Structure 1
Amino acid sequence: MVRIVVPTVWTPQGRTDFEGTPGPLDEVIRDFVARHPEFGRRLLDADGAPLRYVNICIDDDLIPRHQRAAATVGPDAVVTILSPMAGG
């Protein structure tokens, strides 16, 4: 089972841990949003493509934006979504 972890500030109910499906990372994100549409505006653009400015880790590895289209999520992986941050 894929585990998807979202930022606490995204969930007013306090739930941050969800189940997901294995496969290409972009499809994992789209499937997650299909099952939890409340996260759609934070993860997908108007055309339904995953936003590239949101940081995503698979297990303990941050996946660079230019490698996300080729990234695959295994059946026992943890996908951690990190809120974008501004500032300096």
Structure 2
Amino acid sequence: MVTVLLSAGWAHRGQKTFACHEGTVRDVIKEFVESYPLYRRRLLDDDGEPLTYYNVYLDGDLVETADRSRVTARSDSTVAIIPPLAGG
């Protein structure tokens, strides 16, 4: 299974680690939201496609938005979803 990690700021009830099936990064995100619909508004647009404002890392490497539908997360991979940071 692919391990999906969320930042503590987005974790609901403290759960930060989840499991999904392997597939493209896009598919992993969509499966994650299907299993945990509470995260839908943060991760998917109105058409059910992944939003582009958050960063996604696959095994520590940034996956560019344009590559999320091409890059595959294997069963031993970790996908980290990191919300954008704001500051001044």
1:87 and 1:63 map into 2 onto residues whose CA distance is 23
Q: What is the aligned-residue identity percentage?
A: 39
The question of 1:71 aligning with 2:88 is answered no
Per-residue deviation at 1:11?
A: 2.1
CA RMSD of aligned residues (A): 1.2
Structure 2 residue runs of 5 or longer lacking an equivalent are none
| Displaced runs of 4 or more, over 3 A | none
Structure with greater helix percent: 1
Q: 1:67 to 1:38 in 2, by over 3 A?
A: same
- Whole-Å separation in 2 of the counterparts to 1:34 and 1:12: 15
> What residue identity is the alignment partner of 1:53?
Y
**Aligned amino acid, residue 48 of structure 2:** G
SS in 2 for 1:8: coil
TM-score (norm 2): 0.92
TM-score (norm. length: structure 1): 0.92
